[in-house]
Structures are given as structure tokens and as C-alpha cells.
């Protein structure tokens, strides 16, 4: 099946995932995480990409972002590679790419999935066995959202602000949401969309997206179209 071109829609949230080459650890110590986050902050600002949530795991990175134009997301990801890959290769005495192919992205129906994807991302370290609780893991945006620290890499989405009228109310509401965890069906739905690069939302959202983007956003169904029987 031919791969659909990557879909980027300005002012629409996108889930982005990038993995290390053949299971390579992308981050080996605290300095690596700090260096990457520094470049993420500067490149996101430079190319007008709002980062709403993130989790940096040893072998992969997860981002929830909203680009302001069609080119900003790709340019931001290219710049991150242009800075981080030489840094990593020089530090660890290797050559070549760090990435397992090109990054994957899914356009998100914000009203139904933004906060769900944010929690999915920030709970990734727990699912991976890297921490017992999301607030035990230093390299995600969870601490920012629950008020433990301010994170300069994060731009809060309007739906996060809608959780309460004060920072305390928003942080408490997000903490409560996160305490529920995610159901297996939610996890499967998110992973199926993101790993295949498909939009994440209702059928109407996908239909509206195709109309807005003026292109196909899901792979065509396999097989020949059904032909009606010819009447005698």
C-alpha cells in the first residue's frame, strides 16, 4: 500500500512520535535530556510550533504540538535533528542517523482527544516501567500540568485552561484526570492512529479534514469497488 504524504494542518493539534534507530537509546544521561529540551524550546519558538505536552523516553520521544503553518513542524523536527544528532554522535563516538525512519504524526480532533493524548503521553513512562507514577519521571510535561514546576517548553492549550479559572483549579483538575489512567480501548485507538499516521477523531472530523485539506487522509479500502448487478 502506498504511504500517504504526511498531513500537517495549521492551528490543529498533532501527535508526533520519533523512535531511536533499531532500539538505540536516544538519551543516556541527564545532560542529553536537558540538551534536547533546550533545542526543543528554541526551535519551537523559532518556527511557531506550540508544544502542549511531551515525554522523552530513552528510546523514543512523544510530542503534542500545534503548528502555526504547514512548514513549521517539519522544519522544527529537522532543526532538532541537525543539532541533537551531531551532539549525540560526538559524545558517544558514533556516526549516522539516530532515528528509526521519519517521524510519525497524527492530526488530532482537539475537542475529543487533546487532553486524552496529553495524558497518554505523560503516562508513557509509567506504561514503559520507567516510573511508578508520572510525577516520578523528570522528562515529561506532567509536572508542569499539575503545578509542580513551570516548564518553558510548554504552551498550554485552551482546553487545558478551560479546566479551571485559576492555576490551582486547572492543576487540580488535571491531576484528577490523570489519576484515572487510560482504558485499553483509548490506548489502542491512539496508538493505531499515531503509528499509522492517520487522523485521530470521529468520522465527521476526518471527513471535514479531507474537505479542508483537499486530499485523502486515510488509505483507500482494499479491493475493487462493488458493482451492482445489471438488470435484465
| Phi, psi of 18, rounded to the nearest 5 degrees | -135, 135
Confidence of residue 115 (pLDDT cuts 50, 70, 90): very high
Does any domain span residue 130? yes
Structure-block grid coordinates of residue 48: 511557531
**Residue 5: per-residue pLDDT:** 67
Confidence of residue 4 (pLDDT cuts 50, 70, 90): low
**Residue 214: per-residue pLDDT:** 67
Which CATH number do you get for residue 107? 3.30.70.1290
**Residue 220: per-residue pLDDT:** 56
**Stretch 218-223: mean pLDDT:** 58
Does any domain span residue 2? no
Q: How many distinct structural domains can be found in the chain?
A: 1
Task: Tell me the CA end-to-end span of the chain in Å, nearest whole number.
Answer: 37
Residue range of the domain that includes 105: 14-198
pTM (2 d.p.) = 0.89
- Dump pLDDT digits (tens) for 164-219: 999 999 999 999 999 988 999 999 999 999 988 889 998 888 888 887 766 666 66
Mean pLDDT of the chain: 90
Does any domain span residue 90? yes
Cβ contacts of 108 within 8 Å, gap of 6 or more: 12, 13, 14, 15, 64, 114, 117, 199, 200, 201
**Residue 215: per-residue pLDDT:** 66
Does any domain span residue 210? no
**Stretch 124-149: mean pLDDT:** 96
Does any domain span residue 203? no
Answer whether residue 222 shows pLDDT above 60. Answer: no
Question: Which residues sit opposite 200 in a β-bridge?
Answer: 108
Distance CA 16, CA 46 (A): 18
Cα-atom radius of gyration of the chain, to the nearest Å? 19
**Stretch 34-46: mean pLDDT:** 97
**Residue 90: per-residue pLDDT:** 97
Amino acid at each position: 500500500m502506498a504511504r500517504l504524504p504526511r498531513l500537517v494542518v495549521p492551528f490543529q493539534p498533532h501527535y508526533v512520535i520519533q523512535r531511536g534507530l533499531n532500539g538505540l537509546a536516544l538519551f543516556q544521561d541527564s545532560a542529553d535530556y536537558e540538551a534536547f529540551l533546550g533545542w526543543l524550546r528554541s526551535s519551537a519558538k523559532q518556527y511557531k510550533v506550540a508544544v502542549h505536552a511531551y515525554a522523552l523516553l530513552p528510546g523514543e520521544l512523544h510530542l503534542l504540538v500545534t503548528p502555526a503553518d504547514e512548514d513549521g513542524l517539519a522544519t522544527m523536527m529537522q532543526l532538532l535533528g541537525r543539532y541533537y544528532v551531531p551532539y549525540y554522535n560526538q559524545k558517544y563516538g558514533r556516526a549516522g542517523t539516530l532515528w528509526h525512519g521519519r517521524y510519525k504524526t497524527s492530526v488530532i480532533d482537539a475537542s475529543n482527544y487533546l487532553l486524552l493524548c496529553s495524558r497518554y503521553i505523560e503516562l508513557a513512562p509509567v506504561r514503559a516501567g520507567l516510573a511508578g507514577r508520572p510525577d516520578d519521571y523528570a522528562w515529561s510535561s506532567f509536572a508542569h500540568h499539575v503545578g509542580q514546576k513551570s516548564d518553558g517548553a510548554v504552551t498550554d492549550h485552551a482546553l487545558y485552561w478551560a479546566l479551571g479559572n485559576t492555576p490551582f483549579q486547572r492543576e487540580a483538575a488535571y491531576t484528577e484526570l490523570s489519576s484515572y489512567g487510560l482504558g485499553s480501548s483509548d490506548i489502542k485507538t491512539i496508538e493505531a492512529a499515531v503509528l499509522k499516521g492517520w487522523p485521530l477523531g470521529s468520522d465527521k472530523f476526518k471527513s471535514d479534514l479531507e474537505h479542508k485539506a483537499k486530499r485523502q487522509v486515510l488509505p483507500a479500502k482494499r479491493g475493487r469497488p462493488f458493482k451492482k448487478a445489471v438488470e435484465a
